[in-house]
Amino acid sequence: MRHAFVGIDVGTSSARAGIFDENGGLLATARHPITVWHETGGVVEQSSSDIWAACVASVRAAMMEAALPASAVKGIGFDATCSLVVVDAAGNPLTVSTSGDIRRNVIVWMDHRAIAETRRVNETRDDVLRYVGGSISPEMEIPKLLWLKRHLPSTYRSAGHFFDLADYLSFRATGSTARSMCTLACKWNYLAHEQRWSGSYFERVGLGDLAADTYARIGNEIVAPGTALGAGLTNSAAHDFGLLEGTPVGASLIDAHAGGVGTIGGRGRSGEPVDVCRRLAYIMGTSACIMATTREPCFVPGVWGPYYSAMVPGFWLNEGGQSAAGAAIDHLIRSHPAYHETAAAAHAAGIEVLEFLERRIVSRVAGPGEAASLARDIHVLPEFLGNRSPFADPDARAVVAGMDLDTDIGSLERLFVAGLCGLAYGLADVVDAFRLHGVESDMMVISGGAGRSPLVRQIMADTTGLTVVVPETQEPVLLGAAMLGAVAAKSRGSIGEAMASMSAIGRLSEPTAPGMAAFHRTKRKVHGLMRKLDSESRDAMKGIESIVGIDTKK
């Protein structure tokens, strides 16, 4: 009987499970939706019970598709978004919602309610902030904890555990309260290179009670990703999943970092040794992460990190990102008058809207690179949810320039391509920041839904000057999670060994003619002008509430 490993990935809108063999071959996948509550004021909430149920449904469906007995599964790994889960000492949910709804005990990563608390933390200029590019983001957990302490003090006081979602899932599976070095270093300001929390930092930001409690509520047992937790699956979790009690469970990863593990160590066709420090990982979903691995710490202003051993053990990680990536493109095209007509045509063709648009576009040009010329006169700064890096500006907003009154599909195609260019220029901003501070790379391995698009890959190659490749597997994030299970089961001796033996790279997209590079350089200048316009517009409108006597935040 062949051995199998289960990777479980929890994204913003769904949970997915993937079953892989010992060589990283995909045997089956399944997906189940997750409920998300959106409210004004940047509030986005979920339910940990609903998320667990979605994980269970996905694993059971994938196991049925793979037609494997439970005994074939030798290890399990989880990855998830960096959302905050709040439970009491018994693991029961505590509300994080002003509605009081007990189901809503998860503050989603993209929730921006804690903007004021974020500013308060950044104003301290504590030395800890050097390891998040100089300023913390409202997408991280410390501002969210401060918000809870201020606005829902009963929940804060009653909390037995504050978990990153990935750690909550491993806790739910094993009963172990150990936290992953990945989640704590990247989202909680844990100093992994010194193996400690900073008590003075917590005192300074107003969370000294966490230090006084010896950090029990946020994690005082921190382990490397892939470390076997507890005694494996508990009887209850095994029953839920339809697997065997005691099946090893590896300490988790953030979802983007699982994508990095599942891609950057992939063997190439030449068989030459892989230098992960020459490869960037770009993981594109609702948001996007751009990750660089280095042997020594590199401090890049506006880019999170450097984090020690947060993704690849023994190496440092810098993490850039775009708060709205797939979400930005979806929002753009849905706002166009031709969207419903296009969606109907795509449905009739049996494909997704974005694939339908891409097929139409590419069929009329010499190659994917030339398709970018459709966006010559339309420019998009797609920062609907702020700039994560390298400008670290959560208040930034989108700008669209060059639109006319056309309402046909051709107009939608031009807007679509302009949006892709805008995302590529945001990526190029991060890559340039990396280069300026000594992080050099030759190749970018792209994963997520957009990674399968030749148009996306070519625009990014032409914009950054990097060779852009896709992993051989169609599910690199799930594979990265499954690798955690392989390490926990001791089927692989380390994360590095799992990366080398279970993953490979596939198709390549090289930069095209110099003319397209010049085209993108010119459009990037416009991109910079729009960023300046957005910033100066916000500055001009500051204080308007007191002038006109209205609340502009409503």
The pLDDT, as a whole number, for residue 269 is 66
Answer yes or no: is 460 within a domain.
no
Q: Tell me which of 253, 282, 314 is where a domain ends.
A: 253
The tokens describing 184, both together, are 């704590």
Q: Where are the alpha helices (DSSP H) in 395-543?
A: 409-436, 454-464, 476-488, 495-502, 514-541
Task: Look up the pTM and report it.
Answer: 0.91
459 inside domain: no
Residue 85 is encoded by which pair of tokens?
């889960």
Q: Nearest Cα to 9, choosing from 52, 55, 60?
A: 55
3-class DSSP assignment, residue 279: strand
554 within some domain:
no
Q: Band the pLDDT of 503: cuts 50, 70, 90.
A: very high
Based on the domain organization, do 46 and 69 belong to the same domain? yes
Beta bridge partners of 20: 5, 26
Provide the 10 A C-beta neighbour count for residue 236: 12
CA 231 to chain centre: 29
Residues 128 and 207 in one domain: yes
Please, which residues bridge with residue 444 across strands?
A: 280, 468
Judge if 134 and 159 occupy the same domain: yes
- Categorize the per-residue pLDDT at 548 as very low, low, confident or very high, splitting at 50, 70 and 90: low
Q: Do 306 and 405 fall into the same domain? A: no
Same domain, yes or no: 403 and 356: yes
Q: List Cα–Cα distances, 474 to 81, 90, 478, in angstroms.
A: 20, 38, 9
Q: What's the per-residue H, E or C state across 59-114?
A: HHHHHHHHCCCHHHEEEEEEEECCCEEEECCCCCECCCCCCCCCCCCEECCCCCCC
**C-alpha 94, offset from chain centre:** 25
> How many residues appear in the chain?
554
Q: Quote the distance between the C-alpha of residue 133 and its chain's center.
A: 17
Contact in structure between 433 and 389 (CB atoms under 8 Å) = yes
- Inter-axis angle of helices 409-436 and 454-464, nearest 10: 40
pLDDT at position 507: 85
Do 226 and 87 belong to one domain? Answer: yes
What are the Cα distances from residue 182, in Å, to 192, 229, 258, 431, 477? 9, 15, 10, 22, 15
Residue 312 lies inside a defined structural domain of this protein: yes
Cα–Cα distance measured from residue 355 to residue 357, given in angstroms and rounded to the nearest whole number:
5
**pLDDT tens for each residue of 288-336:** 999 999 999 999 999 999 999 999 999 999 999 998 999 999 999 999 9
The answer to whether residues 59 and 146 belong to one domain is yes
Q: Using an 8 Å Cβ cutoff, are 394 and 326 in contact?
A: no
The answer to whether the beta carbons of residues 308 and 294 sit under 8 Å apart is no
130 and 247: one domain? yes
Tell me the pLDDT of the chain averaged across its residues. Answer: 94
Domain boundary residue, one of 238, 253, 268: 253
Express each pLDDT in 126-169 by its tens digit.
999 999 999 999 999 999 999 999 999 999 999 999 999 999 99
Work out how many domains the chain is built from and give that number.
3
Looking at this protein, which amino acid is placed at residue 84?
L
Which residues touch 239 (CB under 8 Å, ≥6 apart)?
A: none
Q: Which of 253, 270, 287 is a domain's end point?
A: 253
Closest to 254 (Cα-Cα) out of 174, 197, 310:
310
pLDDT in tens, 181-209: 999 999 999 999 999 999 999 999 999 99
284 and 243 fall within a common domain: no
Query: Which residues neighbour 306 within 8 Å (Cβ) at sequence distance 6 or greater?
Result: 131, 294, 297, 298, 299, 316, 317, 318
Q: How confident is the model over 359-377, as a mean pLDDT? A: 89
> At 520, which CATH number?
1.20.58.2240
- For residue 542, count other CB atoms closer than 10 A to its CB: 8
Cα three-residue angle 379-385-387, rounded to 5 degrees = 75
Residue 487 confidence (pLDDT)? 98
Same domain? For 162 and 241 the reply is yes
The pLDDT confidence band at residue 554, using thresholds 50, 70 and 90, is very low
Which structural domain range is residue 60 located in?
4-253
Task: Give the pLDDT confidence of 406-457 residue by residue, as tens digits.
Answer: 999 999 999 999 999 999 999 999 999 999 999 999 999 998 877 788 999 9
In a domain, 462, yes or no: no
Q: Are 268 and 504 in contact, with CB atoms under 8 Å apart?
A: yes
Q: Is the pLDDT of residue 14 over 50?
A: yes
> In the block, which residue shows the tokens 């308060």?
120
- The rounded distance, in Å, linking the Cα atoms of 414 and 425 is 16
DSSP reduced 3-state for 327: helix
What distance, in Å, lies between the first and last C-alpha atoms of the chain? 61
- Least Cα distance to 280 among 425, 154, 467 occurs for 467
Q: Which residue has the tokens 């795509």?
A: 346
Residue with the two structure tokens 């270093």: 185
Q: Return the closest-CA partner of residue 319 out of 183, 226, 443.
A: 183
Whether residue 128 is contained in a domain is answered as yes
Residue 362 burial (C-beta neighbours within 10 Å; 0-12, 13-18, 19+): middle
User: What does the alpha-carbon distance between residue 532 and residue 422 come to, in Å, rounded to a whole number?
Assistant: 15
- Do 521 and 394 fall into the same domain? yes
Residue 91 domain-assigned (yes or no): yes
Residue whose tokens read 């506006």: 302
- The β-bridge partners of 107 are 45, 84
CATH assignment of the domain containing 215 = 3.30.420.40
Of 59, 32, 65, 35, give the one whose Cα is nearest residue 47.
35
The residue type found at 382 is P
Residues 6+ apart with CB under 8 A from 237: 172, 173, 174
- 21 assigned to some structural domain: yes
135 and 37 in a common domain: yes
pLDDT confidence band for 547 (50 / 70 / 90)? low
